[in-house]
């Protein structure tokens, strides 16, 4: 079954039954993934009386920004303003993402293309680290960070999260598809190794590095455990901990804070959505770059 519709520039748009069904299935899947988030976003904009309606209402009737105001004001009175947590989270997460992209790409490049002696052993270690439950290494990790005198500094949150087994494994998988012939050709043309890496390999890896940026940003942005054990002073804390502080206050001011918690959750969501949108655009637009064609 095909339906033909005149499309712009004189092209024909073919609409087949199977395509329509496919879109319907996909829209149902999208509903499954997105509805809980829509609820979360709606809650952030609910005025006080709608927050406590029983049964809870899904959508918001009279959207308000009051919750966000509360977030700034209610915390403004305490020693550390909300914006400080936001700043900490942004600095730490950006530093980790930048470093891990560079370090993982360099490492993966070496493992796949130089294959130095010991590389296979290292890769096995990486695989093992990947499989090891991170919970039980928290205490040994704390000893290391403490031993280096990093506790309660940005370094404690940044340095341990750069060389992550997961990240180098991801980049390595993409690096394997990069043809050796291109590297050989560039070397014959007299290009230096760092130039080859920066001008040929890194651009070709854009879909992989963009994906890594998203993963790394999301994971570290939402990381609750590291700041919990490495950070002791209030002004060094990050958003996930602040969120807990805000909702922790709910015990004594239950009604006043519920809106602020929803607003804070919303604020936490926004940067990840922005990063994803930018990076995913990156992956989609580079599409089939000429570099990998043989």
Partner 1 sequence: MSREVKKRTGFSGKELARFWHKNWMGYLFLAPFVILFTIFVVAPVAYAIGLSFTNYNLMQEPQFVGLDNYKLLFLDDEVFLLSLGNTLKFAIITGPVGYLLSFFAAWVINQLKCKRGFALAFYAPSITSSVAMTSVWLVIFSGDRYGYLNNILLNLGMIDEPILWNTDPNYIMPVIMFISLWMSMGTGFLVFLAGLQNVPSSYYEAAAIDGVKNKFQELIYVTLPMMKPQLLFGAINAIVSAFGVFDIAVSVAGMPSPNYAGHTIVAHLYDYAFIRFQMGYASAIAVVLFVITFVLGKVVMKLLSSKDE
Report in angstroms how near the CB of residue 62 gets to partner 1 at its nearest.
Answer: 20
Beta bridge partners of 15: 3
- CB-based contact 263:217 (threshold 8 Å): no
What's the chain's length in residues? 294
Using DSSP bridges, classify how beta strands 12-16 and 2-6 pair: parallel, antiparallel or unpaired: antiparallel
Cβ contact 264:71 at 8 Å: yes
Q: Which is nearer to partner 1, 36 or 190 (CB)?
A: 36
Closer CB to partner 1, residue 79 or residue 85? 85
Cβ atoms of 174 and 205 closer than 8 Å: yes
Nearest distance, CB of residue 63 and partner 1, angstroms: 18
Structure tokens at 141: 């990790």
**Whose Cβ is closer to partner 1: residue 10's or residue 36's?**
36
Q: Which residues pair with 5 in a beta bridge?
A: 13
H helix count then E strand count, the chain: 15, 2
Closest approach, Cβ 218 to partner 1, in A, equals: 6
Which residue number, 77 or 169, has a Cβ lying nearer to partner 1? Answer: 169
Smaller CB separation from partner 1, 79 or 251: 251
Task: State which residue, 79 or 138, has the beta carbon closest to partner 1.
Answer: 138
Give the list of residues 6+ apart from residue 63 with CB closer than 8 angstroms, or none.
Answer: 45, 46, 47
In order, the DSSP letters of 189-224 are: TT--HHHHIIIIIHHHTHHHHHHHHHHHHHHHHS--
Residue 204 near residue 292 (C-beta atoms within 8 A): yes
Alpha carbon distance, N-terminus to C-terminus of the chain? 38
State the minimum distance, in angstroms, from the CB of residue 221 to partner 1.
8
Tell the smallest beta-carbon distance from residue 91 to partner 1 (Å). 19
C-beta closer to partner 1: residue 110 or 153: 110
In whole angstroms, the minimum distance from the beta carbon of 21 to partner 1 comes to 11
Tell the smallest beta-carbon distance from residue 66 to partner 1 (Å).
19
12 by DSSP, 3-state: which?
Answer: strand
């Amino acid at each position: 079954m095909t339906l033909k519709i005149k499309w712009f520039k004189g092209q024909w748009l073919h609409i087949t039954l199977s395509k329509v069904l496919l879109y319907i299935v996909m829209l149902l899947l999208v509903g499954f993934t997105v509805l809980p988030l829509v609820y979360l976003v709606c809650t952030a904009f609910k005025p006080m009386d709608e927050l406590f309606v029983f049964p809870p209402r899904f959508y918001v009737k009279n959207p308000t920004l009051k919750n966000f105001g509360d977030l700034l004001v209610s915390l403004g009175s305490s020693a550390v303003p909300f914006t400080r947590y936001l700043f900490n989270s942004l600095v730490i997460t950006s530093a980790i993402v930048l470093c891990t992209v560079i370090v993982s790409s360099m490492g993966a490049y070496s493992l796949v293309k130089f294959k130095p002696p010991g590389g296979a052993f290292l890769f096995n270690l990486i695989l093992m680290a990947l499989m090891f439950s991170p919970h039980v290494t928290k205490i040994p990790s704390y000893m290391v960070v403490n031993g280096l005198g990093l506790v309660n500094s940005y370094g404690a949150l940044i340095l341990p999260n750069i060389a992550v087994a997961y990240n180098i494994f991801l980049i390595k998988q993409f690096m394997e598809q990069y043809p050796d012939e291109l590297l050989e050709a560039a070397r014959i043309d007299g290009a230096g190794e760092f130039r080859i890496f920066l001008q040929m390999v890194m651009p070709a890896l854009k879909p992989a590095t963009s994906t890594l940026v998203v993963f790394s940003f999301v994971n570290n942005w939402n990381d609750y455990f590291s700041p919990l054990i490495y950070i002791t002073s209030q002004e060094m804390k990050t958003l996930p901990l602040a969120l807990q502080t805000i909702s922790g206050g709910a015990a004594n001011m239950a009604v006043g804070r519920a809106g602020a918690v929803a607003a804070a959750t919303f604020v936490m969501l926004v940067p990840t959505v922005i990063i994803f949108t930018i990076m995913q655009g990156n992956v989609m637009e580079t599409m089939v770059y000429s570099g990998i064609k043989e």
